[in-house]
Amino acid sequence: MESPRPPLPPFTLETAAEKVRLAEDGWNSRDPEKVALAYTPDSQWRNRGEFLNGRPAIIAFLTRKWQRELDYRLIKELWAFRDNRIAVRFAYEWHDDSGNWFRSYGNENWEFDETGLMQRRLACINDTPIAVEDRRFHWPLGRRPDAHTGLGDLGF
């Protein structure tokens, strides 16, 4: 059995928000191996139209993603929660290898096991081309600074 990964369900407003921020921080690391440890070994994902099962598939997916989505910066915000489930909205900015910038918007539904590992992730995502001068996520690569505005304050 895996070590517990707090915060654990059932979630409160505070622990759900903490879980969302921890997920954001992990994804902003752009480290597929590290991120995959937040999921159960047999975690089930739907990401856009792609269906994944298990950590090795998650690692392969994230490796491909961050090879294609360069200078990736993400903000996640809690939308709703109940018991062992959390709904999140998010936006991230990235560019391709030709220098074309995009902002991707989406929603995720998460389900956790009793140890705090995510056992199911369902993500719907839309990409919008943006001009470089329309970028809003300018912090150095890595963790978003605590003082950086969130999605609501940015009008997203």
Among the residues of the chain, which ranges form H helices? Answer: 13-29, 32-36, 55-68, 151-154
CATH topology of domain 13-154: Nuclear Transport Factor 2; Chain: A, (3.10.450)
**pLDDT number for residue 13:** 98
What integer pLDDT is reported at residue 42 of this predicted model? Answer: 98
**Phi first, then psi: what are they for 55, rounded to 5°?**
-60, -45
Query: CA of 53: how far to CAs of 50, 61, 115, 120, in Å?
Result: 10, 11, 19, 9
Residue whose tokens read 């975690």: 43
Which residues of the chain carry a pLDDT beneath 50? none
List, in sequence order, the alpha helices (H) in 30-156.
32-36, 55-68, 151-154
The answer to whether the pTM exceeds 0.95 is yes
- Cα distance between residue 137 and residue 149, in whole Å: 9
Positive or negative torsion for Cα 128, 134, 137, 141: positive
**Contact in structure between 117 and 1 (CB atoms under 8 Å):** no
pLDDT of residue 2: 81
